[in-house]
Amino acid sequence: MPRFVVPRTLPDGLEIPTKPDGLDAARGVASNKAEQAATRVNSHASTGRTKTLWRYDGTDRHAISQAASANGLPVDSIAAGRVLELYSSARSAS
């Protein structure tokens, strides 16, 4: 499945609910992504959580965009990506 990289700017910061209602919110987010065949691989956030970088596996950019929209998340851009295999690339170049 294709991989995508999605940077996001969140001026108010990313809120991560830690109370029981946060679990319901997380389930809703997961359900919305599943409907669009978009699976979050991992996410990284700046210290203030105003800049984030998310990696997804998904069918196409549209699926990633639709999942973000359903979850009320901004999208700065969506780029096709891949894992860089630095050590194996260096070996194959020699």
Residue 61: CATH number of its domain: 3.30.70.3090
Q: Which residue range forms the structural domain that includes residue 30?
A: 3-93
Residue tagged 């992504």 (tokens): 33
Check if the beta carbon of residue 57 is closer than 8 Å to that of residue 41.
Answer: yes
Confidence band of 94 (pLDDT split at 50, 70, 90)? low
| Neighbour tally for 34: CB within 10 Å | 11
- Give the residue with greater pLDDT, 56 vs 30: 56
Q: What are phi and psi of 56, to 5 degrees?
A: -125, 150
Considering only CA atoms, which of 65, 78, 68, 82 is closest in space to residue 2?
82
Q: Could you give the number of structural domains in the chain? A: 1
For the chain, give the mean pLDDT: 85
- pTM of the predicted protein model: 0.76
Q: How do residues 43-79 score in pLDDT, each as one tens digit?
A: 999 999 999 999 999 999 999 999 999 888 999 999 9
pLDDT of residue 1: 86
